[in-house]
Amino acid sequence: MQNLAEGPQASIFHRLPAEMRALPQWCVTAGTATDKAPYGADGKRASTTDPSTWMDFATACRLAIEWRGLIGFVLSANDPFACIDLDVKDDTTAEDMERFKSIVTTFNSYSELSRSGRGMHIWVRGNIGPGCKRGGVEVYSQERFIICTGNVYIDAPVEDRHELLANMVTQMRPADYTAAPLPDAPEKEEDTAIIERAKGAANGEKFLMLANGQWQGRYTSQSEADMALMSIIAFYSPNNEQCRRIFRRSELGKREKATKDDRYLNLTLEPIRRRQAAEAQRMEVQRSAFKQAGDGVGTALAAMPPSMDIKEMHRGLVYIAAEKPMIAFRDNLAVQLPPPGMSALLKHNTTTIVSPEGETVASTFAMWMGSDKRMVAYTLTFDPSAGEFCTAEDGRHALNLWKPRPHNPPADWQQRLGIFLDHIAFLIPDDVERNRFLDWLAHIEQQPGVLPHNHYLMIATQQGVGRNWLAALLAHVWSGNVAMDFDLKSSLASGFNGQLSRKLLAVVDEINEGGTGERWQHSEKLKSMVTASHRFINVKYGLQHTEKNCCRWLLFSNYETALPLTVDDRRWNVIRNPSEPHSGEGYYRRLYSTLYPKPDPLFIASVRQFLRARNIAAFNPGAHAARNDAKEAVIANSRTRHDEVALELVASHPRDLITAEDLFSAVFDVDPNFTPDAGRKWALLPHIARKAGIEPLPKPFALYGRPKVKVWALRNAQGWRGALAMAVEAELNRITAPEAPLSPPA
């Protein structure tokens, strides 16, 4: 399954909630109007009832990028999630739209726009069994594939809304709907004993309030309140008849629909018992603590959350006591959840405490939270040159997100490299440029914490030469430390850069930043992004923190206008790739078979060993980027008409100095006082001037009887910096160029 519909960027995928990303219930889809079916890693149709056809989140993201598709989550009875799908069509009425808005507001959980951008997916915790639909609203909690866009509408965790959801579904069910046979068990205690336990529990006040019929102002309907009360009763009693009997003793149980027969109360009990059964099933399934992810941060969560005793929690969990408290797995630092989320994830872990009064069962996680033996850090950081716990740039004790990965190359690693070296030679025909690039890659492996001063832009006039294979290979070599298909333009515009956390390499595909009218508006941000010694990680989910900037950049483009570069650029190496794909029969089939449907671990380990063993003694990480014909072409294509005007102005203007307004008028050929977009042009002017060597003088001058006149130096800027206002005014008034160059007056 290849050549799917245009899909979102990887950064969009990672906006999805962490608790969903931790489960291996993902598939890839074309996501078109005619093909929304799920596909597995082998390219075949996946089944919503067969977990063997699903995959983990990282694999789904990688394949979606490679296949240019979308990803989606498969709902299962064994997970806690449900999705409310609000379907907006051309004939959707204004009344229905208001109803949809009310549903979104009421549930107030993680929500995202659908693939069309018109509908809405609301993700909640809840279990309703078979799905149902009515009036443009569909609800599913099992055996359903939901496309996930990451186009966030409500940026919130997936909230527990089982009572609210169950109530809504009860109203949506047809009048003749009968609940499936409910799980049942004999009574264990008298009714009065259960009532006393409920009254004395932590939520005893809520129980008494509901039992007394006090729901107005707290719930949107009595049915929702009924669900809340029945949930408390069913927690203590496994017997359905006892639950119905105790419920009818309450004030809520007095209305006719609860007393005339058992149908309404069974419909209320159905989602509660289903959720309890699913939780019991999850606890009985053998839990795998982690599966090897090979992503530099240890392992990833298996299908089920890990089983841990208190000692294992002391060894395996770290409490991050920051502005937004988080808890991380030491062996899988990609999983970071706030305390309530981690509590929910590990709630199946309990500890039996024996005392003279008898045995009590306590939450192991709650015991860990109150323990003075738990490991604590006060922020996160990323520094390959430091240990697991280190000092962050701001001086706080930090948990280091860098974790070296094991490396076990095969004995015949050199014999396995042929296809890699052949393809690098195809992409970079020049020997000098190719060896410089291989040194650059090897430096990432050998000195991950040392940021070089130069990065790479590869240009090919056509698609399909195999650069994406190279990027995918590097993503496997440094799995988890590569930002694949990074949305550079969106990041520069929004400021969100969470995808760069823990990254040694960022790959940007199809960049054409120099081909837009506003080509220089992001240049300073980009400069800071690639050169800063540290980076503040601004994420929508998780903890904001500062990391050491170790991220190299590899940019792909089909245009020589890819980046706006100046003649004095020192950061970007430019390589011109072949303009035609490789002509060898079966070449790309053999190439891509090394990575999917399943990556060849021995081949990947061999490439990593090649980079690790390569002699880079002559590589200078502080060197300036090389100048070649490819880079000259990018520089030439970076010049706009306004750039050419500025260069001509420097060459032909009779004076060294010019006022800011006259410079504006000369470059844009309009009066700044009479143009509607003057603000935008003023913002662009410094970038245009800088490329031509035009520099502003440090301070404005009182000239011509006008205060604060800004002046720019077309030439000899250094000499004019300390000039007096009188000399500046004289230069501005000079009509003709002197016969010989003059030095600026002291």
At 91-127, the pLDDT tens digits run: 888 888 988 998 999 899 999 998 888 889 999 988 7
Q: Check residue 735 and give its pLDDT.
A: 60
pLDDT band of residue 15 (cuts 50, 70, 90) is confident
| 268 contact partners, CB below 8 Å, separation of at least 6 | 166, 170, 223, 226, 227, 230
Q: Check residue 303 and give its pLDDT.
A: 42
Q: What mean pLDDT is predicted for residues 713-720?
A: 92
Q: How far is CA 736 from CA 73, 654, 732, 744, in A?
A: 73, 6, 11, 16
pLDDT higher at 4 or 403: 403
With pLDDT > 90 as the criterion, what percentage of the chain qualifies?
40
Summarize pLDDT for 359-395 with one digit per residue, the tens.
Answer: 889 999 999 999 999 999 999 999 999 999 999 999 9
pLDDT higher at 673 or 743: 673
CA distance 88 to 32: 17
Q: How far is CA 561 from CA 428, 460, 468, 580, 707, in A?
A: 20, 12, 20, 19, 41
Q: Which of 129-138, 614-623, 630-639 has the highest mean pLDDT?
A: 614-623
CA distance 692 to 592: 45
Residue 462: both structure tokens together: 């056509």
Tell me the β-bridge partners of 292: 299
The continuous run of DSSP H or E covering 695 comes out as strand 695-696
For residue 375, count other CB atoms closer than 10 A to its CB: 17
| pLDDT score of 738 more than 70 | no
Q: Check residue 168 and give its pLDDT.
A: 84
Q: Are strands 144-148 and 70-75 parallel, antiparallel or unpaired?
A: antiparallel
Q: What mean pLDDT is predicted for residues 149-165?
A: 85
Classify residue 287 as exposed, middle or buried by CB count within 10 Å of its CB (0-12, 13-18, 19+). middle
| 41 contact partners, CB below 8 Å, separation of at least 6 | 28, 55, 59, 63, 596, 597, 598
Q: Check residue 408 and give its pLDDT.
A: 93
Tell me the angle at which helices 240-249 and 222-236 cross, rounded to the nearest 10 degrees. 130
CA distance 695 to 715: 8
| 34 contact partners, CB below 8 Å, separation of at least 6 | none
pLDDT band of residue 302 (cuts 50, 70, 90) is very low
Secondary structure (3-state) at 275: helix
Which region among 164-178, 229-243, 698-712 has the lowest average model confidence (pLDDT)?
164-178
Secondary structure (3-state) at 360: strand
Share the mean pLDDT of the chain: 84
Q: Can you list the positions of beta strands (E) in 567-649? A: 572-576
pTM (2 decimals)?
A: 0.53
Q: Check residue 540 and give its pLDDT.
A: 64
Residues 437, 571: contact at Cβ < 8 Å? no
| pLDDT score of 745 more than 60 | no
Residues 735, 654: contact at Cβ < 8 Å? yes
Q: How far is CA 302 from CA 50, 83, 332, in A?
A: 16, 22, 11
Which region among 234-238, 304-308, 612-616 has the lowest average model confidence (pLDDT)?
304-308
Q: Check residue 389 and give its pLDDT.
A: 96
CA distance 615 to 500: 28
Secondary structure (3-state) at 230: helix
Instruction: Name the nearest CA neighbour of 169 among 146, 121, 135, 219.
Output: 135
Secondary structure (3-state) at 12: helix
Q: Can you list the positions of beta strands (E) in 298-388? A: 299-300, 317-320, 326-329, 332-337, 350-355, 358-363, 375-377, 379-381
| pLDDT score of 55 more than 50 | yes
Sequential DSSP letters for 56-114: -HHHHHHHHHHHT-EEEEEE-TTSSEEEEEE---TT--HHHHHHHHHHHHHH-S-EEE-
Which ranges of 187-338 does DSSP label H, i.e. alpha helix? 191-200, 204-211, 222-236, 240-249, 256-259, 263-284, 310-316
pLDDT band of residue 172 (cuts 50, 70, 90) is confident
pLDDT band of residue 642 (cuts 50, 70, 90) is confident
Which region among 138-152, 159-173, 447-461 has the lowest average model confidence (pLDDT)?
159-173
Q: Check residue 523 and give its pLDDT.
A: 65
Residues 697, 720: contact at Cβ < 8 Å? yes
Residues 228, 163: contact at Cβ < 8 Å? yes
pLDDT band of residue 512 (cuts 50, 70, 90) is low
| pLDDT score of 669 more than 80 | yes
Residue 513: both structure tokens together: 């930043």
Tell me the angle at which helices 418-427 and 601-613 cross, rounded to the nearest 10 degrees. 70
With pLDDT > 70 as the criterion, what percentage of the chain qualifies?
89
Instruction: Name the nearest CA neighbour of 690 among 713, 708, 720, 668.
Output: 713
Q: Check residue 299 and give its pLDDT.
A: 37
Q: What mean pLDDT is predicted for residues 160-170?
A: 80
Tell me the angle at which helices 204-211 and 222-236 cross, rounded to the nearest 10 degrees. 130
Residue 155: both structure tokens together: 């940026």
| pLDDT score of 286 more than 60 | no
Q: Check residue 289 and give its pLDDT.
A: 24
Q: Check residue 694 and give its pLDDT.
A: 93
| pLDDT score of 596 more than 90 | no
For residues 33-44, b (16+ Cβ closer than 10 Å) or e, as one string?
eeeebbbbbeee
Q: What angle do CA 676, 679, 684 make, to 5 degrees?
A: 120
pLDDT band of residue 295 (cuts 50, 70, 90) is very low
Summarize pLDDT for 573-586 with one digit per residue, the tens.
Answer: 999 998 788 877 67
CATH fold for domain 413-635: Rossmann fold (3.40.50)
Q: What mean pLDDT is predicted for residues 320-342?
A: 89
Summarize pLDDT for 26-52 with one digit per residue, the tens.
Answer: 999 988 878 889 999 888 999 998 988
Q: Check residue 743 and give its pLDDT.
A: 47
Q: What mean pLDDT is predicted for residues 527-543?
A: 81
Q: Check residue 405 and give its pLDDT.
A: 86
What does the domain layout of the chain look like in residue ranges? 10-172, 191-284, 302-400, 413-635, 640-733
Q: Check residue 585 and give its pLDDT.
A: 67
Q: What mean pLDDT is predicted for residues 189-200?
A: 88
| 491 contact partners, CB below 8 Å, separation of at least 6 | 11, 497, 499, 500, 529
| pLDDT score of 284 more than 80 | no
- φ, ψ of residue 551 to 5 degrees: the values are -90, 120
Summarize pLDDT for 212-221 with one digit per residue, the tens.
Answer: 999 988 887 8
| pLDDT score of 283 more than 80 | no
pLDDT higher at 357 or 613: 613
CA distance 114 to 25: 19
Residues 104, 218: contact at Cβ < 8 Å? no
DSSP 531: H
Q: Check residue 247 and give its pLDDT.
A: 95
Instruction: Name the nearest CA neighbour of 519 among 569, 462, 566.
Output: 566
| pLDDT score of 9 more than 50 | no
Tell me the angle at which helices 222-236 and 263-284 cross, rounded to the nearest 10 degrees. 50
pLDDT band of residue 521 (cuts 50, 70, 90) is low
Sequential DSSP letters for 437-493: HHHHHHHHHH-TT---S-EEEEE-SSS-SSHHHHHHHHHHHTTTSEETT--HHHHHH
Q: What angle do CA 107, 112, 117 make, to 5 degrees?
A: 125
Sequential DSSP letters for 23-62: SS-EEEE--SSS----B-TTSSBP-TT-GGG-B-HHHHHH
